[in-house]
């Protein structure tokens, strides 16, 4: 990601260097050069391998009192379920978000020691170079002898994955003999493979080095350069959005809990605080909300849905990309989200027409089109900006007490079912003691709006409440895919283009 940025800035710099005449060019030359130096320095730091980072990391002082703790150091590893910089440059991941929340809970800053694999992560904890490991660590009986584990926040299990376009299903690990088998170093996965090798001595595999996180390895399986891979079921579920031909061949072990791993020390006040933190978060629903942020929509699309979407992304989306980007400039709503909405509405078919009379790329009703001053619903130059403005209006009508991205998901639900029915659902959630500001709770309530015993007591009555839930979860899935494969639009960088001067 940063390398792409550097290449972009170097290209920009070449334009700036063309006749240096105006003070503006000189100033921007200096500014661009400074940014290049900072980015190069950052990238150079990030390029260090986990082994050297681990070696150079200082040993942390024992914790006797939380008040004396200046920062929390968390060992983690790169991965879609742990810690990752997304295509937009934002740090994301379930472990990252939980770690930041734990720091906020204690009022302490958090620093992540991002290593290459789980082996290094656990070593960092053993050597007291990190306070604990938050890296999708399986709470196995073997690891429980070496570490103290918090309350589990998820369950997962290792699986064998393949691409059914290149390989056939397998009945046992023996069928992988002679095939290219890949694994990212993980004690649990490597131990399983070693056990299989005792039964099948000819079985071999390739441990992928630093730079290949699980998602990269699964991409190799999708592309056919690796025949089979061992990965966690949670990671595979996310990857199947992007690579729909991935198929789970076998579940290798029963599901096991994932939890934070602390050094073996029953008197560790940070471990005790983490245990209380997870209990409170689990009881209050905060934990399930964070998990929902990453996994709440992963089952929305089946393999065929994802495959068709990928095909139409290549064949239909380019025709409308610039229109979506113009709508982003108008509303500040990510063009890829608007594109996801349009796909859910019309499959990017500008001439779409439903039996109920909604028409066009954004499938606007006649009333909505009139409200937004759209004269021709079949003209995407009219319908897309209008729909974006409408979605923005809906989002702004939802209280700011609703955090992002939940506020956006609720706005999408309102786009589908109407803001009035969304408010009914929020009132029901509050009455039931649920969180009206959490999409995780609202999506459980919305389907109840079709139940007579429930909608008869609401202000706005019946609604097919299951539809907006499916609508939002599908859009979240499409948006995830587009965010991985399509570049973010940054209209603010236009001032750096000197080609027309």
Q: What is the DSSP letter of 250?
A: E
Tell me what pLDDT residue 89 has: 77
Q: How far apart are CA 183 and CA 381, in angstroms?
A: 48
The DSSP bridge partners found for residue 160 are 230, 250
Q: How far apart are CA 53 and CA 46, in angstroms?
A: 10
Q: Do domains 52-154+257-295 and 158-253 have the same CATH topology?
A: yes
Catalytic, 467? Answer no
Structure tokens at 398: 């939802």
Q: Give whole-number Cα distances, 357 to 40, 360, 362, 381, 421, in Å.
A: 55, 10, 12, 20, 21
Determine which one of 292, 345, 382, 473 is catalytic: 345
Average pLDDT estimate for 17-22: 51
Instruction: Specify the range with the lowest mean pLDDT, choosing from 22-31, 57-66, 173-182, 268-277.
Output: 22-31
Q: How confident is the model at residue 51 (pLDDT cuts 50, 70, 90)?
A: confident
Q: Is 12's pLDDT higher than 60?
A: no
- Count CB neighbours of 185 within 10 A: 17
Residue-range domain boundaries for the chain: 2-47, 52-154+257-295, 158-253, 303-491
Q: Is 183's pLDDT higher than 80?
A: yes
Place of tokens 């400074």: 34
Q: Class of 303-491 per CATH? A: mainly alpha
Q: How confident is the model at residue 112 (pLDDT cuts 50, 70, 90)?
A: very high
Pick the CATH number of 158-253 from 3.40.190.10, 3.30.460.80, 3.40.50.300, 3.30.930.10: 3.40.190.10
- pLDDT tens digits along 405-439: 999 999 999 999 999 999 999 999 999 999 999 99
Structure tokens at 174: 């023996």
Contact in structure between 155 and 256 (CB atoms under 8 Å): yes
The CA-based diameter of the chain, rounded to the nearest angstrom, is 75
CA 43, 47, 50, 52 torsion: positive or negative? negative
25 or 360, which is more confident? 360
Q: How confident is the model at residue 222 (pLDDT cuts 50, 70, 90)?
A: very high
Contacts of residue 145, Cβ cutoff 8 Å, sequence gap at least 6? none
Q: How confident is the model at residue 103 (pLDDT cuts 50, 70, 90)?
A: very high
Instruction: Specify the range with the lowest mean pLDDT, choosing from 9-23, 57-71, 139-153, 352-366.
Output: 9-23
Q: What is the pTM of this model?
A: 0.81
Q: How confident is the model at residue 7 (pLDDT cuts 50, 70, 90)?
A: very low
Tell me what pLDDT residue 338 has: 98
Whether the ω angle into residue 405 lies within 30 degrees of 0, i.e. cis, is: yes
224 or 213, which is more confident? 224
Look up the CATH number of domain 52-154+257-295: 3.40.190.10
DSSP 125-146: HHTTSSSEEEEEEE--HHHHTT
């Amino acid at each position: 990601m940063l390398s792409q940025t550097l290449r972009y800035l170097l290209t920009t710099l070449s334009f700036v260097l063309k006749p240096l005449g105006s003070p503006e060019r000189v100033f921007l030359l200096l500014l661009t050069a400074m940014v290049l130096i900072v980015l190069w320095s950052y990238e150079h730091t990030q390029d260090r391998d986990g082994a050297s980072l681990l070696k150079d990391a200082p040993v942390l002082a024992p914790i006797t009192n939380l008040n004396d703790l200046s920062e929390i150091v968390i060992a983690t590893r790169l991965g879609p379920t742990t810690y990752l910089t997304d295509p937009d440059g934002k740090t994301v991941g379930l472990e990252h978000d939980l770690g930041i929340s734990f720091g906020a809970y204690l009022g302490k800053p958090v620093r992540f020691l991002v290593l290459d694999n789980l082996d290094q992560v656990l070593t960092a904890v053993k050597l007291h170079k990190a306070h604990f490991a938050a890296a999708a660590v399986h709470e196995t009986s073997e690891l429980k002898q070496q570490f103290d584990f918090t309350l589990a926040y998820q369950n997962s299990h290792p699986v064998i994955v393949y691409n059914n376009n290149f390989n056939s299903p397998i009945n046992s690990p023996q069928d992988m003999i002679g095939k290219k088998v890949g694994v990212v170093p993980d004690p649990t996965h490597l131990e399983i493979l070693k056990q299989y090798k005792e039964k099948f001595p000819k079985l071999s595999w390739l441990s992928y080095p630093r730079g290949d996180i699980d998602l990269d390895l699964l991409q190799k399986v999708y592309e056919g350069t690796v025949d089979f891979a061992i990965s966690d079921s949670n990671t595979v579920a996310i990857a199947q959005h992007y690579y729909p031909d991935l198929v789970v061949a076998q579940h290798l072990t029963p599901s096991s809990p994932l939890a934070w791993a602390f050094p073996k020390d029953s008197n560790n006040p940070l471990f005790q605080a983490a245990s209380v933190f997870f209990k409170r978060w689990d009881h209050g629903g905060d934990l399930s909300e964070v998990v929902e942020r990453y996994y709440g929509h992963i089952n929305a699309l089946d393999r065929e849905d994802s495959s068709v979407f990928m095909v139409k992304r290549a064949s239909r989306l380019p025709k409308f990309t610039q229109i979506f980007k113009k709508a982003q400039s108008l509303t500040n709503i990510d063009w890829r989200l608007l594109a996801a909405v349009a796909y859910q509405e019309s499959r990017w078919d500008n001439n779409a027409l439903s039996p109920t009379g909604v028409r066009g790329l954004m499938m606007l009703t006649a009333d909505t089109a009139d409200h937004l001053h759209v004269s021709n619903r079949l003209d995407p130059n009219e319908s897309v900006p209008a729909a974006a403005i409408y979605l923005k209006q809906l989002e702004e009508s939802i209280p700011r007490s609703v955090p992002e991205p939940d506020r956006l998901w609720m706005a999408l639900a309102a786009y589908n079912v109407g803001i009035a029915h969304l408010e009914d659902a929020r009132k029901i959630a509050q009455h039931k003691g649920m969180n009206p500001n959490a999409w995780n709770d609202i999506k459980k309530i919305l389907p109840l709006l079709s139940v007579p015993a429930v909608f008869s007591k609401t202000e706005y009555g019946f609604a097919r409440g299951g539809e907006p839930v499916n609508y939002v979860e599908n859009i979240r899935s499409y948006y995830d895919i587009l965010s991985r494969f399509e570049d973010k639009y940054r209209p603010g960088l236009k001032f750096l283009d000197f080609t027309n001067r």
